[in-house]
Structure 1
Amino acid sequence: MEGGGGGGGAHYNPKTVEEVFRDFKGRRAAILRALTTDVEEFFKQCNPEKDNLCLYGFPNEVWEVNLPAEEVPPELPEPALGINFARDGMQEKEWISLVAVHSDAWLLAVSFYFCSRSGFDKADRKRLFNMINEVPTVFEVVTGSAKKQTDEQQPSSVNKNGNRSKSNSKLRDLDVKSSRKKIEVDEEEDEGVEEGDDEEEEHGETLCGACGENYASEFWICCDMCEKWFHGKCVKITPARAEHIKHYKCPSCSNKRARP
């Protein structure tokens, strides 16, 4: 092991972006195991009666609670010292989250230590950071926010598909643009659009039938009777409610229908 909590002697030196990222993933997996699967054992080992303790993650995905390295400065950056002292002074979830935050900082410090030692240039450092940034942080995983972010992203995709299939409701958001009789979904700007002036007038100069303001990024809905567009908030229609409306009639058209 990378003994005494020091971790990674001079003999261990990942020299490429891929090798450093592999090292990062191994250490990250080890720390995640300590803070999730093995959390009871980790909690037990962080005895407040002991001296300054650190949580180490090793490239082989093994974690260890140990004293800091004796040599100064240590071979690698040190994790947060004394994590055991706060164990019984705060709620367990909050304590675990605090350890997770400091572990994220340590993982980055170790990776960029190898960057400096191996002489990575700007492009390599940026590529490594982008690779690291593609995976959730330890804090996000431990607190469940990584899953929450994934769940929050999913409905937006579903809503777009729903808008695409329900042409009668004529829903409009950032990704939905309309013609007079149907809605079209533009996921990318097409080059060489015919009648560019007409499209600009249609989408850039469309005014809300209620407040008279231009279309921006908010939710819009179109009346199937007069074919005027309205801000959802102006006619008190939410995207969720609009999903269940097959033929929408604005307040003005509804009042006309109600007259004898």
Structure 2
Amino acid sequence: MDGGTLQNARTVEEVFKDFKGRRAGIIKALTTDVAEFFEQCDPEKENLCLYGLPNEQWKVTLPVDEVPPELPEPVLGINFARDGMQGKDWLALVAIHSDAWLLAVASYFGARLSIDKTNRKRLFNSIHDLPTIFEIVTGSAKKQAKEKSSVSNHIRNKSKSSTKARGSESAKYLKIMQPTDEDEGLDEEDEEEHGNTLCGECGENYAEDEFWICCDICETWFHGKCVKITPAMAEHIKQYKCPSCNNNNKKRARPYR
């Protein structure tokens, strides 16, 4: 039903990996796969649930038959409200319930694995470091990322000068590598500010050894993998536009709006 469980899990890291996989699946359903998700939530059908799967996929289906279920169940009947409210409000409501469900699943696994207080705190600190699905669906996570990007102007300027020194035509992307002589000039406060930068697509924090690219229009940072841009591709991009800015002027009819 749910694409796999943590029957053999023994560590906090495995529980967190399961959480992130399910979370990514739900985010996909409520953002990039909205049209398909909308179509599957037919109000004429029975009570439906949105499941996030550990393999970063999602599934709209009926709840399981066994009582009690193997896992806590998502909220029932999300399809009934689909046509009774504005599309964005419906998605936000589903996002709120999905956030609650993910925490319930993590708590369930934590209890089954007898995770002690210290490790339980570590698990939920890792979870709370991520923006909620509600924040991502409503756009507040992107807004926070833009606000934090202004705080990291100092680091961005350094990345530009570093890129130019390598002869690149693109001055808006940054790949984090092992510290160079220039990087050693960054103090701890700068590193902390950069570490708080969130990806405008997945909403996750900056991490070392990951390629990032910045949109020239909205100045939001993205993981290269989230927007399907590699370092080699970025070398030939004179002005990068993120998916949102690129589609900003395109009119597309969507039934869920």
Question: What is the TM-score with the length of structure 2 in the denominator?
Answer: 0.58
Runs of 4+ in 1 over 3 A off after TM superposition: 156-159
Distance 2:8 2:44 in 1: 35
1:8 Cα offset (Å): 4.9
Matched, 1:47 2:80: no
Q: Deviations over 1:98-154 (max 9, x none)?
A: 101110110111011000000000111000011111221111111111110111223
Q: Residue 222 of structure 1 aligns with which residue?
A: none
For 2:141, the equivalent position in structure 1 comes to: 146
Structure 1: gaps spanning 5 or more residues: 162-186, 189-260
Q: What number of residue pairs does the alignment pair up?
A: 160
CA contact (8 A) 2:51 2:59 kept: yes
Cα deviations by residue, 1:195-245 (Å, 9 ceiling, x for unpaired): xxxxxxxxxxxxxxxxxxxxxxxxxxxxxxxxxxxxxxxxxxxxxxxxxxx
| 2:86 counterpart (88, 91, 95) | 91
Q: Alpha carbons of 1:129 and 1:33: their partners in 2 closer, same or farther (altered >3 Å)?
A: same
8 Å Cα contact 1:8/1:76 also seen in 2: no
Instruction: Decide whether the 8 Å contact of 2:81 with 2:90 is kept in 1.
Output: yes
Map residues 3-42 of structure 1 onto 2, 5 A cutoff: 8=4, 12-42=7-37
Q: Quote the residue 1:102 is aligned against.
A: 97
What TM-score comes out, normalization by structure 1 length?
0.57
The answer on whether the counterparts of 2:4 and 2:54 sit within 8 Å (CA) in structure 1 is no
CA distance in 2, matches of 1:19, 1:83: 29
Provide the residue aligned with 1:252 in structure 2: none
**Larger Cα-atom Rg:** 1
Matched residue type, 2:27: L
Amino acid at match of 2:90: W
What are the ranges of 5 or more consecutive residues in structure 2 without an aligned counterpart?
157-187, 190-257
Does residue 126 in structure 1 map to residue 151 in structure 2? no
Q: Which residue number in structure 2 is paired with residue 211 of structure 1?
A: none
Alpha-carbon contact 1:27-1:60 (below 8 Å) kept: yes
1:24-59 Cα deviation digits (max 9, x unpaired)? 011011111111111100000000011100000110
Choose 90-99 or 11-20, whichever is displaced more: 11-20
Amino acid at match of 1:141: I
